[in-house]
């Protein structure tokens, strides 16, 4: 049934209010990668009726168990309902958090039967990414409701991520309502929050705990730290200490002085090309041979590094696409022999889970798993995430299709979605317009089938308003677009790059949370280096094909690489208006998102001398924000 305009606005306006209140919405695009847009496949009944997507490949071999074993999650960003689109590689990641909880329960039982330890750890970034975290009604707090289900899992250690720090209300909610559930095992070694003390004065304290010392079920002594990379875009009343300074603190020196059976470092910091060696070397200076296990995160890739022969560092992807596995066969702490480690990257689906637990579909679900699944479905219904705006006729791909093309989501977004959505409610005849946005507005693929409110959150979550300059010559607008993308002579290109860098600090700076460049280069390298013939093999589905520096094959399931096209410019523009009366001098409305307004004005002022443009010259083009245009377009065109 077609939704009325009033009904549609009733569903969209809460989204606008949520993001309009978020001073850090722009910074969050530099946080982590591309959100995935998916509807969730389970119904809203109270019985979990799992459906395994067709064509899923099973793992290639059993896991290698050791004395100490770890299941690792990181950068889940709200993907608790699983990835439920039917186009590959999405079915690889179709398990929801309830399925994962059942998997953990069975794996814990296997560990008990083997007489070994199995730990469950997470390296941060629970916030920002899907409707189940971000779709809260006005007055709510991001991920508060979703995290109630995360708390039900038996995590042994969790660490804070940068997405827990962009908004103080989220950090405070974690400190007050999430941290206590971990009983001293939620770690923020170098991250503090300022709260009001009992005496009414500001009090600067760790969000969680600086460290944890505990014994495993089988009596192994563990010292654990939870370290965040040198993040700088945290909100007021939160503090991130540089890692180099943390390792010189007296509390840190005191904590590592006593030798455990192993050090377990769980932190939101990539295992390659960051500061884990600072922490590692500080420990090694005191304990040259004690086993060190590192579980990292943040850059969304699958990666493994061994800093010496008695350590391993693992990073386990993103968006609940990957569950990391690490095992170690321990020897004497004073031994200098190589420790036998294994690592594996598990695709998160029921075929994977049932293979490793040796359970069939009827035996697999546990009461905890079903409780979590049903609870998430109820939360999804409460947030109206299944509301369908329209039915997408095909897949529109984020980075797996060239731009421009008929399959490119960027082409669809700038040439059709934005112009159609912004002009839906315009009653008067508007002048010709040219529309321009930064490509960072889009975070992931849009798949064929129902386009839901949840998809709207995951694909284009940022709440930018649309502004415009009137009576701009078409040639000047196109020149501004070309200049911003670095076209022209080398001097102009250098000037443009410096300008863009100034205006895009919030999304380009690694220290402010940027991971897109790292993740995209990883995908590009994967696409280029794997033999093309492998992709053509009919028995392989699309997925990650990981090459890391640890010995052996890390991927649990063999895949063909995902096609990758990194040719999308930083700015995209709609096709210029055409017609017999349109020339290069025709005055148009130059429409753009407010996030790039400063760049637009600076470039226009550098291209001509007739007028100095300021923000006073820009006007609001529509009441719609950028996070609502896909829903309006789907309502108008895909019904």
The 10s digit of each residue's pLDDT in 5-33 is 434 444 444 444 343 444 444 444 444 43
Q: Report, as an integer, the average pLDDT of 452-481.
A: 95
Sequence-distant (≥ 6) Cβ neighbours of residue 363 within 8 angstroms: none
**297 has a pLDDT exceeding 70:** yes
pLDDT at 579 (0 to 100): 87
pLDDT at 537 (0 to 100): 64
pLDDT at 131 (0 to 100): 97
DSSP letter string, 108-134:
HHHHHHHT-EEEEEE-S--SSSSHHHH
State the DSSP H helix or E strand holding residue 6, giving kind and residue range, or none if neither.
Answer: helix 5-20
pLDDT: is 462 or 126 the higher one? 126
pLDDT at 530 (0 to 100): 74
Strands of the sheet containing 571-573, edge to edge, are 571-573, 433-438, 587-593, 465-473, 619-625
Sequence-distant (≥ 6) Cβ neighbours of residue 258 within 8 angstroms: 213, 223
DSSP letter string, 349-393:
SHHHHHHHHT--HHHH--HHHHHHHHHHHHHHHHTTTT-EEEEES
Describe the crossing of helices 474-484 and 490-503 by its angle, rounded to 10 degrees: 80
Q: Report, as an integer, the average pLDDT of 61-86.
A: 98
Strands of the sheet containing 311-316, edge to edge, are 211-215, 221-225, 262-266, 292-296, 311-316, 302-305
**426 has a pLDDT exceeding 90:** no
The 10s digit of each residue's pLDDT in 214-268 is 999 999 999 999 999 999 999 999 999 999 999 999 999 999 999 999 999 999 9
State both tokens at 485.
Answer: 């993308």
CA distance 82 to 385: 13
Distance of CA 389 to the CA centre of its chain: 24
The 10s digit of each residue's pLDDT in 548-562 is 999 999 999 999 999
Q: Report, as an integer, the average pLDDT of 521-533.
A: 81
The 10s digit of each residue's pLDDT in 154-205 is 999 999 999 999 999 999 999 999 999 999 999 999 999 999 999 999 999 9
Q: Give CATH for domain 31-382.
A: 3.60.21.10
Q: Is the pTM of this model over 0.75?
A: yes
**509 has a pLDDT exceeding 70:** no
Domain over 5-19+388-504+570-637 is classified CATH 3.90.780.10: yes
pLDDT above 70 covers a percentage of the chain that reads: 87
pLDDT at 567 (0 to 100): 79
Average of per-residue pLDDT values in the chain:
89
Beta-bridged to residue 262, according to DSSP, are 222
pLDDT at 528 (0 to 100): 86
Mean pLDDT check: name the lowest of 417-426, 485-494, 620-629.
485-494
Describe the crossing of helices 597-607 and 474-484 by its angle, rounded to 10 degrees: 110
User: Could you tell me the residue ranges of all domains in the chain?
Assistant: 5-19+388-504+570-637, 31-382
The 10s digit of each residue's pLDDT in 115-151 is 999 999 999 999 999 999 999 999 999 999 999 999 9
CA distance 321 to 424: 37
CA distance 135 to 112: 39
pLDDT at 42 (0 to 100): 35
Q: Of 163, 143, 140, 159, which Cα lies nearest the Cα of 234? A: 163
pLDDT at 137 (0 to 100): 94
**Three-state DSSP class for 77?**
coil
Report the relative pairing of strands 292-296 and 311-316 from DSSP bridges.
Answer: parallel
Sequence-distant (≥ 6) Cβ neighbours of residue 427 within 8 angstroms: none
The 10s digit of each residue's pLDDT in 353-402 is 999 999 999 999 999 999 999 999 999 999 999 999 999 999 999 999 99
pLDDT at 487 (0 to 100): 54
pLDDT above 90 covers a percentage of the chain that reads: 77
Is there a contact between 442 and 412 (Cβ–Cβ < 8 Å)? Answer: no
Q: Report, as an integer, the average pLDDT of 491-516.
A: 54
Burial of 399 (0-12, 13-18, 19+ CB in 10 A): buried
CA distance 430 to 422: 11
CA distance 513 to 28: 7
pLDDT at 574 (0 to 100): 97
pLDDT at 503 (0 to 100): 40
Is there a contact between 33 and 516 (Cβ–Cβ < 8 Å)? Answer: yes
31-40, 341-350, 559-568, range with greatest mean pLDDT: 341-350
pLDDT at 538 (0 to 100): 63
């Amino acid at each position: 049934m077609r939704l009325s305009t009033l009904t549609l606005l009733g569903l969209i306006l809460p989204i606008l209010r949520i993001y309009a209140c978020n001073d850090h919405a722009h910074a969050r695009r530099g946080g982590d990668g591309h959100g995935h847009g998916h509807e969730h496949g389970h119904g809203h009944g109270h019985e979990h009726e799992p459906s395994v997507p067709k064509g899923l490949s099973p793992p290639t071999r059993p896991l290698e168990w050791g004395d100490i074993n770890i299941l690792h999650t990181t950068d889940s960003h709200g993907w608790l309902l699983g990835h439920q689109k039917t186009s590959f590689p999405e079915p690889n990641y179709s398990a929801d958090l309830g399925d994962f909880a059942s998997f953990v329960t069975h794996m814990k039982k296997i560990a008990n039967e083997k007489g070994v330890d199995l730990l469950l750890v997470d390296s941060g970034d629970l916030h920002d990414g899907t409707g189940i975290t971000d779709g809260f009604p006005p007055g709510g707090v991001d991920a508060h409701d979703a995290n109630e289900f995360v708390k039900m899992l038996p995590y042994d250690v969790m660490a804070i991520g940068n997405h827990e720090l962009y908004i103080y209300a989220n950090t405070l909610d974690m400190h007050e309502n999430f941290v206590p559930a971990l009983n001293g095992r939620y770690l923020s070694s170098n991250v503090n929050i300022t709260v009001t003390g009992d005496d009414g004065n500001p009090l600067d304290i760790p969000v969680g705990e600086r460290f944890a010392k505990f014994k495993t079920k089988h009596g192994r002594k563990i010292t654990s730290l939870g370290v965040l990379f040198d993040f700088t875009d945290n909100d007021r009343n939160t503090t991130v200490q540089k890692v180099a300074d943390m390792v010189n603190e007296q509390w840190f020196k005191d904590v590592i002085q006593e030798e455990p059976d192993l050090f377990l470092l769980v932190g939101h910091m990539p295992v390659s090309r960051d500061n884990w060696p600072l922490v590692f070397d500080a420990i090694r200076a005191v304990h040259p041979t004690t086993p060190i296990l590192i579980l990292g995160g943040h850059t969304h890739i699958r990666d493994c590094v061994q800093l010496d022969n008695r350590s391993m560092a693992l990073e386990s992807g993103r968006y609940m696409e990957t569950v990391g596995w690490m095992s170690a066969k321990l020897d004497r702490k004073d031994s200098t022999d190589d420790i036998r480690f294994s690592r594996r990257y598990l695709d998160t689906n029921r075929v994977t889970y049932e293979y490793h637990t040796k359970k069939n579909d009827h035996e697999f679900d546990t009461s905890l798993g079903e409780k979590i699944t049903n609870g998430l479905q109820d939360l999804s219904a409460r947030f109206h995430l299944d509301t369908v705006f329209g039915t997408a006729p095909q897949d529109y791909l984020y980075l797996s299709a060239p731009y421009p093309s008929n399959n490119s989501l960027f082409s669809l977004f700038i040439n059709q979605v934005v112009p159609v959505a912004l002009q839906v409610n315009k009653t008067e005849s508007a002048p010709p317009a040219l529309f321009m946005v930064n490509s960072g507005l889009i975070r992931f693929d849009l798949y064929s089938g129902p386009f839901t409110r949840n998809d709207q959150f995951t694909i284009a979550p940022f709440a930018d308003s649309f502004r415009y300059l009137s009576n701009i010559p078409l040639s000047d607008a196109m020149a501004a677009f070309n200049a911003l993308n670095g076209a022209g002579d080398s001097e102009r290109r250098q000037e443009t790059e410096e300008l863009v860098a100034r205006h895009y600090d919030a999304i380009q700076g690694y220290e402010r949370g940027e991971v897109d460049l790292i993740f995209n280069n990883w995908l590009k390298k994967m696409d280029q280096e794997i033999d093309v013939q492998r992709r053509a093999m009919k028995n392989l589905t699309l997925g990650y094909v990981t090459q890391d520096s640890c010995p052996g094959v890390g991927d649990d399931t063999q895949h063909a690489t995902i096609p990758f096209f990194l040719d999308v410019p930083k700015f995209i523009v709609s096709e210029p208006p055409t017609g017999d009366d349109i020339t290069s001098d025709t005055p148009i409305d130059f429409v753009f998102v407010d996030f790039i307004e400063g760049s637009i004005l600076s470039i226009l002022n550098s291209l001509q001398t007739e007028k100095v443009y300021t923000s006073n010259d820009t006007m609001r083009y529509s009441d719609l924000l950028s996070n609502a245009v896909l829903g309006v377009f789907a309502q108008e065109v895909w019904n």
